[in-house]
Amino acid sequence: MKRLQDIIHLLWLSGRPVPPRPLHHQQALGREITVTERMESHLIWGSGRIFAKPIPRYLLNPLFWEDHLACNRCQGGDDAAVGGDPLRTPSSSCQHPQLRACALGFLLSYVALVAYESDFAIAKEKRLIPAEVTWLQWRQLVREILAEDGANCLYAHVAPRFIYGELRLNRLNLIFFARHGPFSSGFVATWHSFGSFYRDNSAWIITIAAYVILILSAAQVALSTTKTVDNDAFQTGSFGFSVFAIILPGFTLGMLVFISTILWAYNVMRTRQFEVRRAKVLRRTWRHVRGTEGD
């Protein structure tokens, strides 16, 4: 969650401050529900899928909230005012306010995701909710969460990230590229191989090539008419665009090769740096050392 917290003032570029849409609606939008155990990836969507972190069993256990996240653990006078309600805001002396705000926001996200029995069935199929929880138990939990203040008031006490529901992955990556430079891997790495790099960038190249071919075809038809034979400006423009169309494919291919070479060199450098750091952590080296063949 730290990476999202660092850009909390920019999250409006990636999503809206509204609850997420129910699971059945996510599927209606053509998004595959993908399970993740990383909290920061919860409700991130892109490339036809949306990530969802399953609810841990301990968050559905009232004793866990009382023992670890409830306000009666605070040292001060605030706990008497709230009566130890685990869904109330802890006092400033609480030892785990961030964890509690994150846990409450996470549960509220599931209140929105599982709004209908069809959503509950999808959640059970994807194992997002523990198997022993029934639909009636889930509805009772939702009523207890929303009973006193309602979701809008509870959102005043959640971690800032959960004020926003679904977040677009491509816009998060753009934010990270802008903040950390073009060599940043983004929030989630988009390209896992050079094959995926060329595959993802071939679409816009094909689109540009199609437009160029269309313009050249139109220019060829126009040049075959009598009205453009004596038009020097059109003749000059057609010739220039033809030269441009000849140069463009080679230039585009060269740029792709250049960028992929730079990325390859950067990845090799980062891999080597990581290997050195890892060797220090493990206090050993596994690289072949010359002169040891006879040892």
What is the number of alpha carbons within 13 Å of residue 32 lying toward its C-beta? 6
Look at residue 116 in the predicted model and tell me its pLDDT: 95
144 and 219 together in one domain: no
- Residue 91 corresponds to which tokens in the numbers above? 């006092």
Of 189, 190, 187, 191, the closest CA to residue 4 belongs to 187
- On whether the CB atoms of residues 24 and 17 are closer than 8 A, the answer is no
99 and 242 together in one domain: no
11 and 59 together in one domain: yes
- The reply to whether 185 falls in a domain is no
Q: Which of 142-146, 190-194, 216-220 has the lowest mean pLDDT?
A: 190-194
Q: Which residues form the domain of 247?
A: 194-282
Question: Given pLDDT bands bounded at 50, 70 and 90, which one contains residue 217?
Answer: confident
What percent of the chain has pLDDT above 90? 26
Q: What whole-number distance in Å separates Cα of residue 138 and Cα of residue 123?
A: 11
Number of domains forming the structure of the chain = 2
Residue 256 has pLDDT above 70, yes or no: yes
Query: Mean pLDDT score of the chain, rounded to an integer?
Result: 77
61 and 141 together in one domain: yes
122 and 93 together in one domain: yes
Q: What whole-number distance in Å separates Cα of residue 259 and Cα of residue 250?
A: 14
Tell which of 148, 180, 212 closes a domain.
180
Question: Given pLDDT bands bounded at 50, 70 and 90, which one contains residue 131?
Answer: very high
116 and 51 together in one domain: yes
Radius of gyration of the chain (CA): 28
Residue 79 has pLDDT above 60, yes or no: no
- The reply to whether 108 falls in a domain is yes
What mean pLDDT do residues 199-228 have? 70
Tell which of 180, 204, 223 closes a domain.
180
149-192 per-position pLDDT tens digit: 556 677 778 888 898 989 998 888 888 878 877 656 666 666 55
Task: Record the pTM.
Answer: 0.64
22-64 per-position pLDDT tens digit: 999 999 999 999 999 999 999 999 888 999 999 999 999 888 8
Q: What whole-number distance in Å separates Cα of residue 163 and Cα of residue 16?
A: 8
200 and 241 together in one domain: yes
- The reply to whether 16 falls in a domain is yes
What mean pLDDT do residues 206-233 have? 71
> Which three-class secondary structure state does DSSP give residue 188?
coil
- The reply to whether 287 falls in a domain is no
Question: Given pLDDT bands bounded at 50, 70 and 90, which one contains residue 111?
Answer: very high
Which sign does the torsion angle of CA 2, 48, 171, 166 carry? negative
What mean pLDDT do residues 96-123 have? 90
